[in-house]
Amino acid sequence: MTLSGAALLQANSSRKWLGSGRPLLSFKEKWALFFLMPFATMFVAFVSYPILYALFLATDRSAYTRVIADPIYARTLWNTFLFIVIGVMLKMLLALGLSSFFVLPGRAIRIIAALFILPWAVPHIPSILSIRWMLNSEWGMINNLLFQMFGIDGPAWLTNPSFGMASIITVHIWKYLPFWTMILVAARLGIPKELYESARIDGAGSMQQFRYVTFPAIANVFLTSTMLTTIWSLGDFNSIYLLTGGGPMERTNTLATMGIRYAFRHADFQAGIVTLMSALPILVPLVIVLTRRLRRNADA
């Protein structure tokens, strides 16, 4: 590495023929290029090239007809909408509510917080397989408990079309709620204590303190988190594929699972890309807004 660095420097000095005056790149910038090489190589080979390839695949006009003519496609769009809107809303509201619990002082609460993070820390596959068995209508623990406690026969959570999406959203929330709760807890712990003291002196109750002190202070983080989780929920393949595989009756397919299915079960890569590209009208603006927000926060 040091050798190639030296070679780079030598190359600089032999470039006098380029003309006098300011060099194209300063000494430090040449070094910066050298240091950026590994990432740049990776980016070109494994990010740019796949994206260009995807755009190339998407030039197949007939793929659009195939996808739009597929009756499952409209259903998939609706499912994606439900999954994103309800999933994200519930998850972030629960995270906000639970963050009030986890910011309380006390050893017991610290211990609960440490255990609460487990669904996020444990890999997706084993936990989803476990939940799949819990939700089995005949042998599953949930329906067994329902029967023992209330004497009712629970529904077939994963194979009854009316319950499929609800089960998936619940599992998605189980997995990702801890993470977003902890992000909000971190944001809330950063709020200066004096703000609460002066609010109390002004006679603000706990609801008012939340409304006028807590929420304004974390609104920025809350909004950024909501946008981030929207993007990543669009890409959540595991929760759906491993629980229902898109069934029953295609009621739980989202664009992510549908796109992968076209490509790898029906070997129709063009249709797969076109399906995934339906998410771009949401994805692209969110990525642009988030890039700006995150960079602004980082620079501040």
Partner 1 sequence: MQELAFRPLLRQAALIVLGALILLWTLLPLYHMLILSLTPVGEGFAGKLWPDAPTLDNYRIVLTQDNYYLSRFWLQLGNSVLVAFTSCVIVFACSLTASFAITRLRPRFAGFASHLALVTYLVPATFLAIPFYQVMGSYGLLGSRWALIITIATFATPYAIWVLQQNAGSVPRELDEAAEIDGASPWQIFRLVYLPLMVPTIVAVGAFAVMLSWNEYLYAFLLLSDEDRITLPVMLGQFLSDDSAPWPLLMVSGVLYSLPPAILYFLARRYMAAGLAAGSVKG
Site for partner 1 in 191-250 (CB under 8 A): 225, 228-229, 231-238, 241-242, 245
Total number of residues shown for the chain: 300
Residue 92: count of CB within 10 angstroms of its CB? 21
98 binds partner 1 (CB under 8 A): yes
Task: State in angstroms the smallest separation of the CB of 131 from partner 1.
Answer: 5
Judged by CB under 8 A, the residue of 168, 182, 213, 258 near partner 1 is 182
Alpha carbon dihedral 271, 276, 280, 282, in 10-degree steps, equals: 140
CB 263 within 8 A of CB 275: no
Q: Which is nearer to partner 1, 54 or 77 (CB)?
A: 54
Residue 298: count of CB within 10 angstroms of its CB? 7
Amino acid code (one letter) for 76: T
The whole-angstrom separation of Cα 261 and Cα 246 is 9
Judged by CB under 8 A, the residue of 127, 159, 160, 226 near partner 1 is 127
Using the structure block, give the residue that is written with the tokens 């699972």. Answer: 257
Task: State in angstroms the smallest separation of the CB of 99 from partner 1.
Answer: 12
276 binds partner 1 (CB under 8 A): yes
47 binds partner 1 (CB under 8 A): yes
Q: Which is nearer to partner 1, 175 or 251 (CB)?
A: 175
User: By CB under 8 A, which span of 64-72, 124-132, 155-163, 197-205 interacts with partner 1?
Assistant: 124-132
Judged by CB under 8 A, the residue of 18, 105, 139, 300 near partner 1 is 139
User: By CB under 8 A, which span of 61-69, 71-79, 133-141, 209-217 interacts with partner 1?
Assistant: 133-141
Alpha carbon dihedral 169, 172, 174, 179, in 10-degree steps, equals: -130
Q: Which is nearer to partner 1, 74 or 112 (CB)?
A: 112
Task: State in angstroms the smallest separation of the CB of 67 from partner 1.
Answer: 13
Task: State in angstroms the smallest separation of the CB of 211 from partner 1.
Answer: 20
CB 95 within 8 A of CB 181: yes
CB 131 within 8 A of CB 141: no
The whole-angstrom separation of Cα 137 and Cα 158 is 8
The whole-angstrom separation of Cα 236 and Cα 91 is 14
Q: Which is nearer to partner 1, 46 or 78 (CB)?
A: 46
If binding means CB under 8 A, how many residues of this protein chain bind partner 1? 100
By CB under 8 A, the residues from 58 to 97 that bind partner 1 are none
For residue 220, CA distances in Å to 64, 184, 214, 216, 236 come to 39, 10, 11, 8, 24
User: By CB under 8 A, which span of 11-19, 70-78, 80-88, 290-298 interacts with partner 1?
Assistant: 290-298
